[in-house]
Amino acid sequence: MRSFTTFDLQYAHRFYKFKGEAQYLHGHTGVLTIEVEDSVNPGVNMVFPCNEIKKTAWAVLKNFDHALILREDDPLLSAVLGVYETQGIKNGAPTNTMKGAAFKTELATAYPDCRLVVTKETMTVEGMIKIVYDLLKDKLNIAKITFTSGDNAASQEYKPSLTIDRCPQCGITLGENGVCPKCGYKKH
């Protein structure tokens, strides 16, 4: 069976070198749905607590919220960073508090201090799905990711392959030592 969670991401981007209006900088509220698949955990009668899927995903994905997402070869990148630098906000501002942990993968690099994500490929809905899977595939047993943004929507199915030890008392992933980080349950 599957448990899933959905959340909004508000971001600005453009399709560099695309021959349409999307080559101009613009914004979206994207809706991301992550489905995880596993057996039903008999202790709690659920696959996985949805708020925990959200918490795990949001820890990295909040880097995309209220962020600017540009492709690595987009000349807007140096232009924007130049303005941020002049303004003194390139390396952070006291009001910029909703930051995720910085990350760097093959497909994307997050710079939380200036709310910027630099991508290898154009950040289409398909591109976003690839980035999200890459960031979370080792943490969640992902069966499907769906991303919609304006009229654009895409989804991809995956074969869940992780073996995740879940707490029989609260359903979350047990730590490496077999102890639940939330309720303290210890696996015998």
DSSP state of 6: E
Burial 46-64 (b: 16+ CB within 10 A, else e): bbbbbebbbebbbebbbbb
The sheet with strand 142-149 has its strands ordered as 108-111, 116-119, 67-71, 2-13, 26-37, 142-149, 152-157
Regarding 23 and contact with Zn ion (CB under 5 A), the answer is no
For the CB of residue 25, give the shortest distance to Zn ion in the complex, in Å.
9
Q: Where in 110-169 is the site for Zn ion (CB under 5 A)?
A: 167, 169
Task: Read off the tokens for 176.
Answer: 């490496």
Q: Where in 158-177 is the site for Zn ion (CB under 5 A)?
A: 167, 169-170
Single residue of 40, 178, 183, 186 touching Zn ion by CB under 5 A: 183
For the CB of residue 133, give the shortest distance to Zn ion in the complex, in Å.
20
Regarding 185 and contact with Zn ion (CB under 5 A), the answer is yes
Residues that bind Zn ion (CB under 5 A): 167, 169-170, 180, 182-183, 185
